[in-house]
Structure 1
Amino acid sequence: MSDVIVAPETRDLEELAGKLAGWLSGQMPKATGIAIGNLAYPRGAGQSHETVLFDARWSEGGREHEQGCVVRIKPRSFTVFPDNLFDEQYQVMKLLAEDGRVRVARPLWFEEDPELLGNPFFVMEKKQGRVPVSIPPYAREGWLSEATPEQRRTLWTNAVIQLATIQCVPTDRFGFLKGPAGAEQGLAQEWDKYVRFTTWLEEVAPQPILRAALERLKSSWPHQDPAGLVWGDARIGNMMFDENFDVVAVMDWEQPSLGGALHDLAWFCTLAETMHGRSAVHGAYLEGMGTREETIALWEETCGKSAEGLEWYEEFTHFKMTCTGVRLGQLRGTPMMDEAMMRKRLKVD
């Protein structure tokens, strides 16, 4: 199990407990004796938002109550993405929890006023389970690396089914995710988002390689653009699993959109190969995890949509990840990749 806190910023947890207790009294006016305890930052995951786990206890209606919770605070200076989708993240999780097909933590309360914690925040239920963390890489050490190939196969199957199930959720209630005029949904929405991401990065430094990569991708624009909801960071590292290797929660909905069905599948396949595939760069090969071809077949079988043309979306995934890497380098003051690496990844001469 990782013991590394990777949160973008931290704070005094004892002070936070007092603030949350007072705030919860306003959310639950009939509750008495509200106590907050067991506050902790997640280990090995959670780089883009400050996220704190805690337990709440109170009395109400002559009974004692206890609820495991998570508070997620909107980023301040450590902003990885140009689009502010904090409110939308909460709304997406709320609708998915109501629908019930995709397993998410149930959102409990949203606070718009930044006065209490320095920025808006929301509280959701705390799920119990294990997460394949990135730091250290889950394929090199930890519970998944120690699992049997059969257990990993179970985990992979359940993860892909949940990934595909996202595409079974009707998008008609997610109109609040529409993009700007001319790029309201579909591939146009995701494309517009990352063109603007590139422009945002250029406010710090020119990005000629990213511009060349955009031109290359645009020149081979795909015909396939099936409708669907975008999770945004689709990987097993953003899923929680129980002791039977089944999915407990699909997490981190911070960049949702109506961009179409193939973005998450492409992201999932790309990260799987990088982290635990036969050509793993940041992890190691894990026997039992499904191949790209098996992932595509199970995804298509589960959601009934075609993955034809996925190769272009995988190339676009590399571009998206590079944008994120450049931004993290800007925030940390140390580039995460050199020019040669960027050119190779994005196939730019």
Structure 2
Amino acid sequence: MSDVIVAPETRDLGETAGVLEGWLARRLPEAEGLEIRDLSYPRGAGQSHETILFEALWREGNVPRRKGCVLRIKPQGFTVYPDDLFEQQYRIMKVLAERGDASPDDEAVRVARPLWFEEDANVLGSPFFVMERKVGRVPVSIPPYAREGWLKDAAPAQRRVLWRNAVQQLAAIQRVPLEGLDFLAGPAGEHGLEQEWVKFTGFARWLQEVEPLPVLNAALERLRASWPENQPEGLVWGDSRIGNMMFDDAFDVVAVMDWEQPSLGGALHDLAWFCVIAETMHGPRATYGAPLEGMGNREETVALWEELTGKSSADLEWYEDFAHLKMTCTGVRLAHLRGTPRMDDAAMARRLKVA
């Protein structure tokens, strides 16, 4: 089960290695004897982008070089979201990596360092970028990490360390200055809560080009009618969960991954998403996993996040309801792409509190 590949699209890896060798040789003109080897798809994760792991080996003079890399390819047919933020995810990771170099380690957002961006679709059939490969373990979703695997087998005290380190990274994202991040604003320059609202009302309309979904419209109306007063500014990671973090053997965070939906939408979106996913995957009422002793509960997570960020979590329940709508839109889209049944209208209405 743990060897399941969930890449949305796949290709011939031997042919890809040959193309990458020629491409990287142009990026590394001092490299001699360049070789690309050990290409593979990650196991148990990566449902929206085709992601390939590989090793690059070469010599500079008489000095051997070796670098673990990750290739991330812009989706074409398997597009989960209506907006194209492929370049933005590369740019925000680059900013975070550079700012991390100038920050104390306990304050930096830990990301894999982006190395090269290729906009020419003729190389691999779509634009792509390459980043450094981090070494560690990921609590994967397939199979659910709370049902089997290294986190399920860990001691409660170890899980406690992992939870605290994960929340510290979640908080570190909210300490990132927004100056210089205008490239993450919406198409019309919008930012703050309005940016996320425009994004997902557009997502709901896009889905309904395939089939009418009045329950989504009702949920949006309910959310708009109870608009939150607390709208702290902040960077949105997007898919904020421990399943998008890599951990070392000491249960510390090695990297925060999957920045495919970043925005300037505000601080509470990531906290809400993190809490909802935690409840779903390993909380007391887990539906996809099982309760995991040692993981902080919602109240502990919120209290620690407030302490570390200095920001208020007031109105978090509204943001959690909004997170449920975002997840529902994503789930409907994935069902469309895979040709599988989506959540039925009654269950969707209950989830979105419009039953």
Task: Say whether 1:345 aligns with 2:351.
Answer: yes
1:255 aligned residue: 261
CA distance, structure 2, for counterparts of residue 185 and residue 158 of structure 1: 28
2 CA distance for matches of 1:333 and 1:2?
A: 24
In percent, how many aligned pairs have the same letter? 70
1:191 aligns with 2:166: no
**Following superposition of structure 1 onto structure 2, how do residues 118-133 of structure 1 map, counting pairs within 5 Å?**
118-133=125-140
What CA deviation, in whole Å up to 9, does each residue of 1:204-223 have, x standing for no partner?
A: 11111100100011110000
Q: Which runs of 5+ in 2 are unaligned?
A: 101-107
TM-superposed CA distance for 1:13, in Å, is 0.7
Q: CA deviation at 1:63?
A: 0.9
Aligned: 1:62 with 2:68:
no
Matched, 1:172 2:167: no
Match of 1:216 in 2: 222
Offset of residue 326 of structure 1? 0.6
Query: Which residue, out of 145, 148, 151, partners 1:144?
Result: 151
* Deviation (angstroms), 1:132: 0.1
Partner of 2:25: 25
Alignment of 1:1-349 (within 5 A): 2-100=2-100, 101-181=108-188, 184-349=190-355
Deviations 1:215-235 (A, max 9, x none): 011110000100000000000
Deviation at 1:3, TM superposition (A): 0.2
Instruction: Return the alpha-carbon distance in structure 2 between the equivalents of residues 330 and 285 of structure 1.
Output: 30
Question: Helix, strand or coil for the counterpart of 2:349?
Answer: helix
Q: Tell me the alpha carbon deviations over residues 15-60 of structure 1, each in whole angstroms, 9 at most, x when there is no partner.
A: 1111111100010011110011111100000000000000000011
Report Cα offsets for 1:274-328 as digits up to 9, x if no partner.
Answer: 0000000111000000010000011111111111110000000000000001101
Distance 2:244 2:324 in 1: 18
Q: CA–CA distance in 1 between the matches of 2:347 and 2:46?
A: 25
- Code of the aligned partner of 1:89: Q
Q: In the alignment, residue 91 of structure 2 is paired with which amino acid?
A: Q
Amino acid at match of 1:297: A
What letter corresponds to residue 335 of structure 2 in structure 1?
G
Structure 2 SS opposite 1:163: helix
In 2, the alpha carbon distance for the partners of 1:339 and 1:195 equals: 18
CA distance in 2, matches of 1:178, 1:320: 19
TM-score w.r.t. the length of structure 2 is 0.97
Give the CA deviation at 1:340. Answer: 1.2
Three-state SS of the structure 2 residue aligned to 1:145 is: helix
2: CA distance, partners of 1:173 / 1:230: 15
Q: Residues of 1 paired with 2:203 and 2:162: CA distance? A: 33
Q: Secondary structure at the match of 2:161?
A: helix
- SS at 1:281 equivalent: coil
The letter for the 2-side match of 1:156 is: W
3-state DSSP of counterpart to 1:141: coil
Which deviates more from structure 2 when the two are superposed, residues 59-68 or residues 318-327?
Answer: 59-68
SS of residue matched to 2:174: helix
Higher mean displacement: 236-245 or 183-192: 183-192
* Count of matched residue positions in the alignment of Structure 1 and Structure 2: 348
Deviation at 1:336, TM superposition (A): 2.9
How far apart are residue 180 of structure 1 and its match?
A: 3.3
How far has the Cα of 1:203 moved from its partner?
A: 1.0
Higher mean C-alpha displacement, 49-58 vs 335-344: 335-344
Aligned residue type for 2:97: A
Instruction: State the shift of 1:141 in Å.
Output: 0.1
Q: What displacement does 1:335 show?
A: 2.4
Q: Shift of the alpha carbon at 1:173?
A: 1.4
- The Cα RMSD (Å) is 0.8
| Poorly superposed stretches of 4+, deviation over 2 Å | none
- 1:108 and 1:325 map into 2 onto residues whose CA distance is 32
Shift of 1:62: 2.6
Measure the CA separation in 1 of the matches of 2:133 and 2:62. 24
